[in-house]
A and B are shown apart, each in its own frame.
Chain A
Amino acid sequence: EVQLVESGGGLVKPGGSLRLSCVASGFTFSNAWMSWVRQAPGKGLEWVGRIKSNVDGGTTDYAAPVKGRFSISRDDSENKLYLQMSSLKTEDTAVYYCTTDPDSSPYYAFDYWGQGTLVTVSS
């Protein structure tokens, strides 16, 4: 059974930094491209970014609102995905979901999701 478990959320001041983690199990994580998707309170879903598998180059892509401030990385030895967030703004307040990326899905869609971790940016 595929499981994705996020952690690391919390309260942070504007301009601050935070690192989210996601531990994966139930599939070959090292072969998987992974994404982060967020959801502001009461709002819709927003794709944040993704990382390819290291076999496919390990490169990253980001949505415009977070480019230059967020960084996605992975540790295949520990089956972990990370989202390093810096220069945080109040509009980054959201639940952050770890997901398998469409390029690693037989459905070409976000088919596995974690339960999410809440990040609150407030002074």
Chain B
Amino acid sequence: QSALTQPASVSGSPGQSITISCTGTSSDVGSYNLVSWYIQHSGKAPKLMMYEVYKRPSGVSNRFSGSKSGDSASLTISGLQAEDEGNYYCCSYAGRNTYVFGGGTKLTVL
């Protein structure tokens, strides 16, 4: 099972919007609406930011939104804030009781 493909880095200025892509295959992202997104700050454990493609857990800002088309999913952050900076990972159910994560995207708020 290969890791999902994410851009290594994205950046944006405060107030702007950015989108992080997550590309998988027809065996994972393309087959299941079970894509989740996590943010990880340096030296910390990941934190869930989005689940089932577009749903936000309690406490996550509505500046975060998710979508999926075909074998790719996306996380969009609007109204960028300094606190949004960190490493973002997507994850998908991959069938046969397995999961696959993306390689991670470093978001820099300029």
Chain A residues at the B interface, C-beta cutoff of 8 Å: 35, 37, 43-47, 50, 61, 63-64, 97, 102, 107-111, 113-116
Pairwise interchain contact B3-A113, C-beta atoms closer than 8 A:
no
Give Cα A85–Cα B55 distance, bound, in whole angstroms.
35
Total A-B residue contacts, Cβ distance less than 8 Å: 68
Pairwise interchain contact A110-B91, C-beta atoms closer than 8 A:
yes
Q: How far is the CB of A20 from chain B (nearest CB, A)?
A: 15
Which chain B residues numbered 46 to 78 have a C-beta less than 8 Å away from chain A? 46-48, 51-52, 55, 57
Tell which of A44, A64, A109 touches B3, judged by Cβ atoms closer than 8 Å: A44
- Hey, which chain A residues are within 8 Å of B23, CB to CB? none
Name the residue of chain A whose CB is nearest to the CB of B104.
Answer: A44
Q: How far is the CB of A102 from chain B (nearest CB, A)?
A: 7
Interface residue range, chain B: 20 to 34
* Also in contact, A45 and B45, with CB within 8 A (given A107-B55, A108-B34, A109-B36): no
Chain B residues at the A interface, C-beta cutoff of 8 Å: 1, 3, 34, 36, 38, 40, 44-48, 51-52, 55, 57, 89, 91, 93, 96-104
Most buried by A among B34, B47, B48, B57: B48
Name the residue of chain A whose CB is nearest to the CB of B87.
Answer: A44
Pairwise interchain contact A63-B48, C-beta atoms closer than 8 A:
no
